[in-house]
A and B are shown apart, each in its own frame.
Chain A
Amino acid sequence: MPSFALLFAASLAIPPAFGRVAVGEVQFNRDIRPLFSETCFNCHGPDKGPRRGDLRLDVPDGLYQDLGGYTVIVPGNRGASELYQRLVASDPHDRMPHRKSRKTLSPEQIEAIGLWIDEGARWEEHWAYTAPTRPAPPEVEQEAWIANPIDRFVLDRIESAGVVPSPDATPRLLARRLSFDLLGLPPDTGDVEVMKGALKAAPDTDTELGRIVDELLASPHYGERMAIGWLDVVRYADTVGYHGDQDRSMSPYRDYVIDAFNDNMPFDQFTTEQLAGDLLPGATLQQQVASGYNRLNQITAEGGSQAEEYLAIYAADRVRTTSSVWLGTTLGCAQCHDHKYDPFSTRDFYSFGAFFADIEERGVYEGANTSGNWGPSVRVPSPREEADLARIDEEIAKLRSQAATASPELALAQDAWEERVNSGSDGPFEFDWIDDAQTNGGRTEGTWRFVEAGKPSVLSGERMRFQQGAGTIQHFFYQASRVVRPGAADRFYAHVWLDPDDPPAQLMIQLHSGNWSHRAFWGEDRIPFGEIGSNEQDHRAAGPIPASGEWIRLEVDPASVGIPPGAVVDGMAFTQFGGTAWWDRSGLRTEQRLLSIEGLTESLHTTLKDHPDERTDEEALALAAFYRNIAPELDEVRGQVKALEGERERVEGAIVTTLITRRTTPRTMRVLPRGDWLDDSGEVVQAAVPASLPQPADTGGRAPNRLDLARWLTAPENPLVARTIVNRLWQHFFGTGLSRVLDDLGSQGEWPTHPALLDWLAVEFIESGWDVKHMVKLIVTSHTYRQTSTATPLARKSDPYNRLFARQESLRLPAELIRDNALAVSGLLNPTIGGPSVKPYQPTGYWAQLNFPERRYERHTDARGLRRGLYTYWCRTFPHPSLQAFGAPSREECAAERERANTPTQALVLLNDPTFVEAAIALATHMMGEGDRSPEGNIERGFQRVLCRPPTANEREVLVDLFRQHGARFAEDPQAAQALIMSVDRSGAQTGDAPSLAAWTSVARVILNLHETITRD
């Protein structure tokens, strides 16, 4: 019945190319399930909520049930099948689908259901919910076309449809295709030559091609290209997403993904490390970084948010994302009610969420916009930083050992020191920390003015310090190399002379011991250090303002400002509020000079008093060691150590951090009725995978955790994971999945065009040990991949969506690659891999709507501005506009597929974004380069660089014309030429001939804007 078959195919939304296969056999999964799912499941499906008449059509028990007097379906007999009778009933009350559902079935669709019943109404489990088995690749007529088993499945279909595969792509197009698909970068003419050789090498073409592919797979840029799709699904970004959308560092996770693809990490390991890297015994740093997957969800720091609500939002987000990424299912639809089309209940939803209930996190990261504390994180040093730290540590060790080595000179110096120390009294003693100069090292800040004369005469030595101003004014030092350790009876002192004509309102002495919170003040309470009005150790009222016109001694009891006996004090600050004052001699009066000033311990003190002959070896060594720490002879070495320690601190401070998963006591998870977080009446659930899917191995009574989840996902009997991943891989190389809806392999997804091929690939993936490069190589070395993308008018008509894969597909480059390509062909690309995200050109003020804090985009004007697109700073609420124009997602939610729209904004970006203007200037410089300097020669060079081909005669003519016109215009108006070539960071300033460069820039802009340039054919 060929005429019926045609009708049937046309009406089932299956492209006509599939017409022939429908003849004679209706398949439930391919032909009937989609009809039921679309029109019946809403009231007769998995969701018990709206279910009518207690009838289910999504399970065999429902389909064949006897409803007392009549049977839903009687196999072989449509007349006796109530379901069919209701589809054709004339009474609108009886007729299905019910008119209120606004669903209809066409006569052809009803006929298909009738035919299926007549043929025995054979039920099939949903194709994606049973584990794949490896089908035998079919026999085909054109054996010579077969490069590997993939081609058998594809060609079988093509032959059945009565058409032929497309011819092979030209070497140039194939080189471009492979280079963009595997590296995301354009080939050069050399690559095209190599490809020419390979394709001419028959019968060794496949081997030669394999060799080329192996080389590409070994490139470090392969990982970058493959990472893009993964980062989309896991929603990697550089900001938190909600409300203030603040920055939070995650780039080590991105680099982990790149490395994993480059190292060809088996996909099961890749899965496990991301979901549960923290739970692996002895988790490595990289495994912890990988566990950052669980922290990629949007979070909030918005004041007034309710933590419980957001914890529920985060949990739901993880269920949506994880089920999309690995299972290709829409489990997220079961948050408020049972799934309408697939066998997932709300209980499944919340049980799945319970796997993530052990993640340490906060519902609201209040204050994180200033503190930057977004939860558990680790520092991830780069190899360079690790090397730097190792070098610094080594140098420090070397210097220290140098400082620890005894020498006769040191011994002599020590003798002199011992004599000097022993000859003085041990107390009381006044140690002038500051007198005529700041000689203590460390940091010296504020306004230091040593003067020899003033209203008072100098109190001590030859100089005093003058301090004058309005409001709070101070001079201070800290981190001094000469520190003091005051005892209980000791007092800090400072001398001050207040100008009777202009006395300060307040004086303050601050001591630095770990921090500056040790303050005493005299007079009014106006200096805003510590809390004004309080009288605590960090703001201690010590008395009224002293008399003016005479030298006054201020004294501070260390205990009164919170400094316990023996604590190290390494700095002092002299502060006044307004007025004019002179300060002099300041320091510590001590009763125990050797301890508090010389820094001796009690035991060293005793040793020192002993005669050298009476000391034990140990005592002598300890004293010598102490001396070396203060010996002026070793000042330089100690200074070097200090500098290196500072450098170490800087290197450590620059080490990038990344959020990781840390396990904590699992939160109680319950079913939230209708998703309402305020309703705690729902059942408490444990972590579990959806009940309708094959269950994981028994955990022996232990509550399953994320590690169990990962193991379940990557078990060979999991029906969904391998199919989901190879389907997405297929889409990467053909533009469309074998099942077209990438994130839904369920009932509302699409029956695969090549179900056997999908299963074969899934099994191959599992049995290869989840070898991603193996799968990629298999796909790109297939003959199917090698076909030309040019569609004949007939093919476009008969198979508009290319569901037969009887040709390749022309695909506009993904957003990041459009940038990468322009930078690469113009020679500007900075090929550095990994590291913190970068900020290339972005229109000024684009972030003006952000707040908490308000942000300015600090563009990287150096080589960082020339990195590949995947390193561009990803702000979720304001994604980079040139990437967004070409369909890059915001990464707020999992995005399995990008849109390939064709919009005016894209034209504006390519025409006017400085990125592309800069690339055009650089490209123009290359065009004007070596060899034939005629306009034709320049255009030839431009085309070869960008498209690896010569221009056509017409292209040449149009561009020569453009060059002449613009050359003349820019010659008339050299300022315009200058304005153009100087408008970018990497300007064309070095050229001697600005008008000419500007005119060639116009030509280069045309080439960079061509549809062909941004398309991978």
Chain B
Amino acid sequence: MDDHLPSTTIARRALLRGGAAGLGSLALGSILARADDSSAARWRGLVQPPHHRPRARSVIHLCMAGGPSHLETLDHKPELARRDGEPMPESMTKGQPIAQLQGKELRCLAPQHPFARYGESGQEICTLFPRIGSIADRIAIVRSMRTKQINHDPAHTFMNTGAQISGRPSMGSWAVYGLGTGSDDLPGFVVMTSKGKGGQGQPIAARQWHSGFLPGRFQGVHFRSAGDPVLYLGSPPGTGAEMQGDIVAAVQALDRDRNNLLDDPEISARISQYEVAFRMQASVPELTALSSEPQSVLDLYGTRGADGSFAANCLLARRLVERGVRFVQLYHRAWDHHGGIQRNMKITANEVDQASAALVIDLEQRGLLEDTLVIWGGEFGRTPMAQGDGRDHHIKGFSMWLAGGGIRGGCSHGATDELGYNAVEDVVEIHDLHATIMHLLGIEHDRFTYRFQGRDFRLTDVSGHVVEQILA
């Protein structure tokens, strides 16, 4: 595993290109001359060396926010079709947590879209997702996911932090804390969001990418599609890169003066953070401008450019991991299909199918897939029972797929019962998913802790097993 990435070179090139006329000699000279100082200050990660050979260097989590129905994505249930409209067996549902169907009559709702077999592996996937079908041999499907939280907000929190209580670090923060960042001018953990048209846009809290009790530098940075791509990234109006560079250089000169007097590590750190900040001002816009991508790539993803769509975000995700970003999370807020699931699944599937598959294909073509773990799925699934013509939240069984670094393509793992209610075979808890992600990153989850309030906390709390069966 080689952690030496071309990022520094790219950033320098970007700086030169973006600012050939813009960057003042003072700023440019001083900043490039010291680029190496600050990369020395870069966080290299706590787990040095890794606990074992890492299989993935980066993670891209395609978070299908709202809870996609496993019954219209990855889990084919013909028996449910046969029992359409019949009452759900009470033995299954009695005493189980339930969301909006509390106190309502529970009846089976047949899968609303057909399934087909794809690839040599013959994986069964809903026909709403033909492009994902086309990469069936590269993905591992897990059909026995289970979570503990039945409402969106706590379920996302649980999916990201392994806990319901706010204030625990998210998995991206853990990853950066453990493994460091691969880029000098980009954050180690980047989050992007998009909103679909075929379902309620459930809110997403910034706590989902928060570093919790870990130091704030490990927090996810939200890249935005409107306004500055990163908060406060743009220089004030009337101030071009050159003038901004002058100001940064003057701040550093004066801070350095003072540090000569006091020799305070905090001042040294401040000086290098101004360095990084200024470089981000050039590198992030360069990164988020998709105009440098050839038309063929834009077509592959199905995007016209950086328009804040899920497709554009997928392409950005590839650009991020290319530059050494450790953990990328894309939220597509669209999947909360309490009603009209037949029609709405179609809309939402259409928004993500092509780009999700394109990301895997593109990564593969660039030789990045073997180092990049791609995860696709929501915070929970949906009930086999009807809620009108939709489905309610469901936590006892749902599906996800994974691809890339260390994942065995073309396999499926686990199963729900014949109605898709309970995960019954090879159940995978969220802690198990976390253990597996950490494992692929070269970290043993139960050896990776952080002391807070007197206790050694870990992402997997007190459980978690690596899902060996889906590993290559």
Contacts and interface: CB of A to CB of B under 8 A. Distances in A.
B15 to A, nearest CB: 15
Interface stretch (B55-63, B124-132, B251-259, B362-370): B251-259
B153 A907 contact: no
Chain B contact-residue range equals 35 or more
Contacts of B226: 844-845, 848
A990 B150 CA distance: 58
A912 interface: yes
Interface in B196-248: 200-207, 210, 215-217, 221, 224, 226-228, 230-240, 243-244, 246-248
Contacts of A320: 165
Interface string B84-102: 0000000000010111101
B262 interface: yes
Nearest to B242: A969
Contacts of A954: 257
A901 B216 contact: yes
B391 interface: no
A439 interface: no
A959 B247 CA distance: 9
Interface stretch (A639-647, A663-671, A978-986): A978-986
B13 interface: no
Contact of A877 (B203, B331, B392, B455): B203
B250 interface: yes
A747 B102 contact: no
A877 B453 contact: no
Interface in A273-301: 298, 300
Interface stretch (B114-122, B271-279, B321-329, B427-435): B271-279
Interface stretch (A77-85, A184-192, A711-719, A887-895): A887-895
Nearest to B156: A243
A980 B247 contact: no
B36 to A, nearest CB: 17
A983 B273 contact: no
Interface stretch (A150-158, A465-473, A591-599, A1002-1010): A1002-1010
B152 A330 contact: no
B285 interface: no
Contact of B210 (A243, A333, A845, A890): A890
Nearest to A906: B273
Nearest to B24: A965
Contacts of B3: none
A845 B227 contact: yes
Nearest to A800: B265
A952 B151 CA distance: 59
Contact of A303 (B100, B246, B273, B333): B100
Nearest to A304: B99
Contacts of B200: 851
A798 interface: no
B425 to A, nearest CB: 24
B152 A881 contact: no
A911 B238 contact: no
A851 B193 CA distance: 14
Interface in A337-374: 340-341
Given A893-B166, A965-B246, A1011 B453 contact: no
Contacts of B217: 901, 903
Interface string A775-810: 000000000000000110100100000000000001
B251 A1010 contact: yes
B243 A1002 contact: yes
Most buried by A among B210, B274, B281, B333: B274
A978 B237 CA distance: 9
Contacts of B262: 790
Interface string B263-288: 11011011001101110110000000
Contacts of B201: 851
B100 A313 contact: no
Interface residues of A, number: 97
A885 B258 CA distance: 24
A843 B232 contact: yes
B393 interface: yes
Given A302-B151, A893-B167, A980-B237, A843 B227 contact: yes
Interface stretch (A401-409, A543-551, A738-746): A738-746
A243 B203 contact: yes
Contacts of A810: 264, 266
A851 B203 contact: yes
B447 interface: yes
A626 interface: no
B464 interface: no
Contacts of A876: 205
B215 A904 contact: no
B154 interface: yes
Interface in A303-349: 303-306, 309, 313, 320, 330, 333, 340-341
B454 A908 contact: no
A844 to B, nearest CB: 5
A681 B235 CA distance: 61
Contact of A998 (B238, B263, B277): B238
Nearest to A746: B454
A975 B165 CA distance: 52
B198 to A, nearest CB: 15
Contacts of B112: none
Nearest to B244: A911
B97 A306 contact: yes
Nearest to B167: A893
Contact of A1011 (B244, B250, B255, B277): B255
Contact of A912 (B206, B235, B253, B333): B235
Interface in B158-213: 164-167, 193, 200-207, 210
Given A901-B217, A1005-B247, A1010-B251, A911 B453 contact: no
B109 to A, nearest CB: 17
Given A851-B202, A879-B206, A962-B250, 19 more contacts: A306-B98, A306-B150, A330-B453, A744-B454, A843-B231, A845-B227, A851-B200, A852-B203, A901-B215, A902-B269, A902-B273, A904-B280, A908-B231, A911-B232, A955-B254, A969-B243, A981-B238, A983-B237, A1011-B266
By Cβ-Cβ distance, the 5 closest A-B pairs, closest first, are A748-B454, A304-B99, A877-B205, A980-B238, A979-B238
14 contacts: A306-B150, A843-B231, A849-B206, A851-B203, A877-B205, A877-B207, A901-B215, A901-B217, A908-B281, A958-B254, A975-B238, A979-B238, A1002-B239, A1006-B250
